[in-house]
């Protein structure tokens, strides 16, 4: 559906605000970034690119295993105002960027891409082949996300020796960083869009398959771009940020290809986001947390495939979703298997994963395996295993928790499908309160699985979800990568104020916070629309 559509470009503010379909007063934000740009750079911007953050309602850490997830875009977003520098100085390198941020803690950055020349051709023939931008993946730097978006535009659109425009840009945003609401994906999507727009590439399509870049292609570019910041993310956040529609969640499936469909949410309940105030920086902790989980799930998939005697290419990084498909005899070319069939196979997988438990090391109920044992279980030589699974990513662990990770992934994948089915059937349900209870139950099970099996929760997230349930939430879970960041709770519409009051009074880090400060950390949210561009005329 929506993945084939072009990116909306507005030239009229009332159309733009109408399309956002949310309750926040957007006009002020858009006017203020345009004015601020004018003040800083002495002219109006040419474009403002917008990309929202997202809340994941259910389906954690399964997107990179290619299982479907159910996020929704939130009203909080990143805006990037951008304009060509009218008279670039002679010494300005082609495509140079002056990047400023409204938040003063993020300081002004000036950078330019460097053309890479192919060394193997003769001097006369040296052509601009690719571009290089220095991105520091060891340190958290705000401009890395701007550069990551720019990178994809350079590689995809400026490979033929053309020069990109020199630009000034200004970033502002209301998605809290490191909180599981995808500020990073929102930054990368907004940056990709801003550079596409300012270089007049929104109208072109680099694959040549149509007149304009589609939402799906922007998602693909943004996913590849975000990898440059050092995290091997799945595509959930970028897809939610680009493709979402107001008032619905988005079921995003990645297999056999990216597709997205709106899932109406039942009436009578509201999703409330609460920030644990533990900042988790995925890029910095990747080798122990996020990237390690990516490797663990891939290794589990390889071992399961071997145990089930399924065909896997020698160097193929088969995913858990592909293992399920191959076991069920799914034919990729025909499309994904029907939901009932998938649910059945997932149930079977929950039994098959016994083969992931250690055979040698006792593990004392922990079920972890050592690197040596994992390699042996995979049937690969150490060299092959390292080449396929460890050469592209840095991970650090003494025990690899293959059993627990796979158990989480299969059970979470089936919770997403059940959640979606309940929402789709809600309209005809005789008892709306039972619908909400069933959704809440799935959210609670998801939280337990994230905590105990995937080990991506933390004491504060556990405390906050428990407080939320005591304060009347029907379901409460962490959202996003975890290890800090936000929770999402499902609360009956009539109970929202009392719920916020109780949580604010009970969660230690919220004590003393009032009004705006409090509404920054705990707030109700409505599903918002996806990314767009405003063009000044």
Q: Which residues are at the interface with ligand NG1 (CB under 6 A)?
A: 56, 60-61, 63-64, 180, 182, 184-185, 226, 231, 233-234, 236-237, 282, 480-481
CB 192 within 8 A of CB 221: yes
Residue nearest ligand NG1, CB atom distance: 480
Whether the bond into 256 is cis, omega within 30 of 0? yes
Q: What is the smallest separation between the CB atom of 16 and ligand NG1, expressed in angstroms?
A: 25
Q: What is the smallest separation between the CB atom of 19 and ligand NG1, expressed in angstroms?
A: 24
Describe the crossing of helices 290-307 and 339-352 by its angle, rounded to 10 degrees.
90
Report how far residue 412's alpha carbon sits from residue 456's, in angstroms, rounded to the nearest whole number.
13
Q: What is the smallest separation between the CB atom of 418 and ligand NG1, expressed in angstroms?
A: 17
Nearer to ligand NG1, 56 or 259 (CB): 56
Nearer to ligand NG1, 294 or 380 (CB): 294
Tokens linked to 520: 């920054």
Q: How far is the CA of 514 from the CAs of 218, 511, 520, in angstroms?
A: 39, 9, 10
Q: What is the smallest separation between the CB atom of 469 and ligand NG1, expressed in angstroms?
A: 21
Q: What is the smallest separation between the CB atom of 329 and ligand NG1, expressed in angstroms?
A: 28
Using CA atoms in the order 157, 163, 165, 169, what is the torsion angle rounded to 10 degrees?
70
Which string of DSSP letters, residue by residue, matches 201-241?
-TT--TTSSSSS-BHHHHHHHHHHHHHTTT----SHHHHHH
Question: Rg for the chain (alpha carbons), in Å?
Answer: 23
Nearer to ligand NG1, 64 or 255 (CB): 64
Nearer to ligand NG1, 199 or 238 (CB): 238
Strands (E), 384-515: 475-478, 486-492
Nearer to ligand NG1, 240 or 423 (CB): 240
CA proximity to 61, closest of 407, 367, 317, 488: 407
Report how far residue 2's alpha carbon sits from residue 218's, in angstroms, rounded to the nearest whole number.
12
Report how far residue 33's alpha carbon sits from residue 10's, in angstroms, rounded to the nearest whole number.
16
Nearer to ligand NG1, 231 or 272 (CB): 231
The catalytic residues are 237
Q: What is the smallest separation between the CB atom of 236 and ligand NG1, expressed in angstroms?
A: 4
Please name the helix (run of DSSP H) or strand (run of DSSP E) that holds residue 39, with its range, or none: helix 26-41
């Amino acid at each position: 559906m929506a993945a084939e559509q072009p990116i909306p470009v507005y030239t009229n503010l009332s159309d733009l605000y109408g399309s956002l379909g949310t309750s926040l007063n957007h006009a002020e934000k858009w006017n203020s970034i345009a004015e601020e740009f004018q003040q800083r750079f002495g002219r109006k911007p040419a474009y403002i690119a917008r990309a929202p953050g997202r809340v994941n309602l259910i389906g954690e850490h399964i997107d990179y295993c290619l299982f479907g997830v159910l996020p929704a875009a939130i009203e909080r977003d990143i805006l990037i105002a951008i304009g060509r520098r009218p008279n670039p100085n002679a010494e300005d390198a082609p495509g140079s960027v002056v990047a400023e941020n409204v938040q003063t803690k993020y300081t002004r950055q000036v950078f330019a891409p460097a053309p890479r020349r192919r060394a193997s051709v003769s001097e006369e023939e040296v052509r601009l082949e690719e571009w290089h931008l220095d991105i520091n993946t060891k340190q958290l730097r705000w401009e890395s996300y701007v550069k990551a978006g720019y990178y994809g535009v350079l590689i995809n659109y400026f490979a033929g020796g053309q020069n990109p425009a020199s630009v000034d840009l200004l970033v502002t945003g209301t998605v809290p960083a490191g909180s599981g609401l995808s500020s990073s994906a929102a930054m990368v999507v907004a940056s990709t869009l801003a550079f596409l727009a300012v270089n007049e590439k929104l109208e072109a399509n680099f694959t040549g398959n149509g007149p304009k870049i589609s939402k799906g292609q922007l998602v693909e570019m943004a996913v590849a771009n975000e990898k440059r910041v050092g995290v091997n993310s799945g595509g959930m956040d970028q897809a939610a940020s680009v493709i979402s529609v107001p008032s619905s969640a988005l079921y995003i499936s990645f297999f056999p290809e990216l597709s997205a469909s709106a899932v109406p949410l039942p009436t009578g309940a509201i999703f409330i986001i609460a920030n644990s105030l533990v900042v988790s920086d995925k890029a910095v902790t990747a080798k122990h947390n996020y990237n390690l989980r990516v490797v663990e799930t891939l290794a589990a998939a390889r071992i399961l495939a071997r145990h089930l005697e399924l065909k896997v290419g020698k160097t193929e990084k088969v995913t858990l979703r592909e293992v399920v498909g191959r076991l069920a005899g799914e034919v990729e070319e025909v499309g994904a298997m029907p939901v009932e069939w998938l649910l059945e196979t997932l149930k079977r997988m929950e039994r098959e994963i016994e083969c992931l438990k250690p055979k040698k090391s006792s593990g004392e109920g922990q079920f972890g395996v050592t690197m040596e044992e994992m390699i042996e279980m995979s049937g690969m030589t150490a060299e092959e295993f390292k080449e396929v699974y460890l050469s592209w990513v840095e991970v650090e662990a003494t025990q690899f928790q293959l059993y627990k990770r796979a158990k989480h992934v299969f059970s979470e994948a089936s919770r997403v499908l059940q959640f979606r089915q309940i929402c789709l059937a809600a309209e005809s349900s005789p008892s709306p309160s039972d619908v909400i209870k069933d959704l809440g139950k799935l959210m609670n099970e998801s939280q337990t699985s994230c905590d105990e099996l995937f080990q991506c929760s933390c004491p504060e997230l556990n405390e906050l979800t428990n407080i939320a349930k005591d304060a009347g939430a029907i379901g409460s879970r962490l959202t996003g990568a975890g290890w800090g960041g936000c929770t999402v709770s499902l609360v009956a519409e009539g109970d929202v104020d009392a719920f916020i009051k109780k949580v604010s009074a009970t969660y230690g880090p919220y004590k003393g916070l009032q009004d705006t400060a409090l509404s920054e950390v705990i707030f109700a949210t409505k599903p918002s629309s996806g990314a767009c561009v405003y063009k000044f005329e």
